[in-house]
C-alpha cells in the first residue's frame, strides 16, 4: 500500500513504521493518523511480523499534534479536542498496547506532547542521547493526553510525573533513562544499530510468550496479587501447549540455539 505521511514495511519478521513528515517534526495530522491506523491494522493481520519498530524521519521523533490541523467544530467554534482524542489518539494508544508482539520506540529526536506519550506507550523505548521528552501540554493550557496522566506516575512516580506535567520542561534522554522512564539511552550514532540488534533478537524470540508477558504486565496494574497469580497460571497453562515451549525445552536439553516460530 502507498502511504504519504508514513513509511511502513515488514522484512524478516521486523515491521518498521516511520512517521514521515520531517519538515513538521513528524507532528500528527489527520492523514498521518489514518495511515498509522491502516498500518497497525495490516500488522495485526500479518503473521510474519514478530516485532514493531516505531520511529520518526529526520531530526525528530514526533512533535505531537499539528496545531494547524485540528478537528474544528461547526460554526467556527473552538476545535473539538475531545473528538480528536476519541477518534485518533485513544485508538492509537490502545492499538500499540494491544498489539500481540513487542513494540520498540526508537526516539531519534524530540518527542513532545502526544509524541512523547506515544513513545512511552511502547514496550521498549530506546532514545538517542540528543533526544528530549517534553510534556508540552501545560504551555497551551491543556492536560497531558495520549495516556500521559496514566503512564507518567506509573513510570516515574507521583512527584516526578507532576513536575514533568506542570512545568513542561525538557527531559534529556539520559535523565529519562536514569529515572526509569525509558529502557535505554545510547549515543546518536549507535541508535540505529542498537535498535536493529534488539529488533532481530525479538523477531527470533517466542512471540506468543512475549505477547502474553506484555498482556500480563498491563493487566497487573489493576489486579491484586491473588488475581495476578491466577493470570500467570492461565497463561502458563496456555503457553505450555505451544510449539515454542516445546522447542525451547528441546533446545535446552540438546544444548543448542532454539528455533522459535512464534507459535
The percent of residues above 70 in pLDDT, for the chain, comes to: 97
Residue 185 within a domain: yes
Q: Taking a C-beta distance cutoff of 8 angstroms, is the pair 262, 244 a contact?
A: yes
Boundary of a domain, candidates 203, 225, 240: 203
Domain match, 171 and 220 both: no
Nearest to 52 by CA among 42, 60, 61, 62: 42
pLDDT per residue over 131-168, tens digit each? 999 999 999 999 999 999 999 999 999 999 999 999 99
- The domain of 15 spans 6-203
Residue 24 within a domain: yes
Domain match, 178 and 85 both: yes
Domain match, 53 and 114 both: yes
Domain match, 239 and 121 both: no
Domain match, 102 and 115 both: yes
Residue 28 within a domain: yes
Strand order, beta sheet including 132-134 = 60-62, 110-112, 132-134, 170-172
Residue 142 within a domain: yes
Residue 27 within a domain: yes
Domain match, 93 and 44 both: yes
| CATH assignment at residue 243 | 1.10.12
pLDDT per residue over 219-245, tens digit each? 999 999 999 999 999 999 999 999 999
pLDDT at 79: 76
Higher confidence at residue 164 or residue 69? 164
Which DSSP category does 73 fall into? Answer: P
pLDDT band at 72 (very low <50, low <70, confident <90, very high): low
Q: Does residue 73 carry a pLDDT above 60?
A: no
Domain match, 113 and 137 both: yes
Residue 262 within a domain: no
> What's the total number of domains in the chain?
2
Residue 71 within a domain: yes
Domain match, 198 and 223 both: no
Element (H, E) at 184: strand 184-186
pLDDT band at 76 (very low <50, low <70, confident <90, very high): low
The mean per-residue pLDDT over the stretch 80-89 comes to 93
The mean per-residue pLDDT over the stretch 10-15 comes to 97
* List of residues 6+ apart from 207 with CB closer than 8 A: 50, 100, 101, 244, 260, 262, 263
Q: Taking a C-beta distance cutoff of 8 angstroms, is the pair 195, 152 a contact?
A: no
> What does the mean pLDDT of the chain come to?
96
Q: Does residue 119 carry a pLDDT above 70?
A: yes
pLDDT at 77: 66
Domain match, 117 and 237 both: no
| CATH assignment at residue 173 | 3.90.226.10
Domain match, 119 and 216 both: no
Domain match, 197 and 85 both: yes
pLDDT band at 198 (very low <50, low <70, confident <90, very high): very high
pLDDT per residue over 211-221, tens digit each? 999 999 999 99
Q: What pTM was computed for the model?
A: 0.95
Domain match, 157 and 189 both: yes
Amino acid at each position: 500500500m502507498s502511504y504519504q505521511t508514513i513509511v511502513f514495511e515488514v522484512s524478516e519478521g521486523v515491521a518498521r513504521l516511520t512517521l514521515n513528515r520531517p519538515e513538521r517534526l513528524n507532528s500528527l495530522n489527520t492523514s498521518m493518523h489514518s495511515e498509522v491506523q491502516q498500518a497497525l491494522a495490516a500488522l495485526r493481520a500479518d503473521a510474519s511480523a514478530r516485532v514493531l519498530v516505531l520511529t520518526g524521519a529526520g531530526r525528530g521523533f514526533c512533535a505531537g499534534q499539528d496545531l494547524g490541523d485540528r478537528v474544528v467544530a461547526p460554526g467556527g467554534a473552538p476545535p473539538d479536542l475531545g473528538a480528536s482524542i476519541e477518534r485518533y489518539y485513544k485508538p492509537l494508544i490502545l492499538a500499540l498496547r494491544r498489539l500481540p508482539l513487542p513494540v520498540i520506540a526508537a526516539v531519534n529526536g524530540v518527542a513532545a506532547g502526544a509524541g512523547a506519550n506515544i513513545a512511552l506507550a511502547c514496550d521498549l523505548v530506546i532514545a538517542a542521547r540528543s533526544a528530549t521528552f517534553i510534556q508540552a501540554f501545560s504551555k497551551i493550557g491543556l492536560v497531558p493526553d495520549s495516556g500521559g496522566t496514566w503512564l507518567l506516575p506509573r513510570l516515574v512516580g507521583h512527584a516526578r510525573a507532576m513536575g514533568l506535567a506542570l512545568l513542561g520542561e525538557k527531559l534529556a534522554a539520559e535523565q529519562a533513562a536514569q529515572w526509569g522512564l525509558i529502557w535505554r539511552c545510547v549515543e546518536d550514532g549507535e541508535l540505529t544499530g542498537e535498535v536493529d540488534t534488539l529488533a532481530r533478537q525479538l523477531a527470533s524470540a517466542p512471540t506468543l510468550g512475549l505477547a502474553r508477558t506484555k498482556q500480563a504486565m498491563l493487566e497487573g496494574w489493576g489486579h491484586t496479587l491473588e488475581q495476578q497469580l491466577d493470570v500467570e497460571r492461565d497463561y502458563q497453562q496456555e503457553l505450555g501447549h505451544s510449539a515454542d515451549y516445546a522447542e525451547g525445552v528441546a533446545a535446552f536439553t540438546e544444548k543448542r540455539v532454539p528455533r522459535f516460530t512464534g507459535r
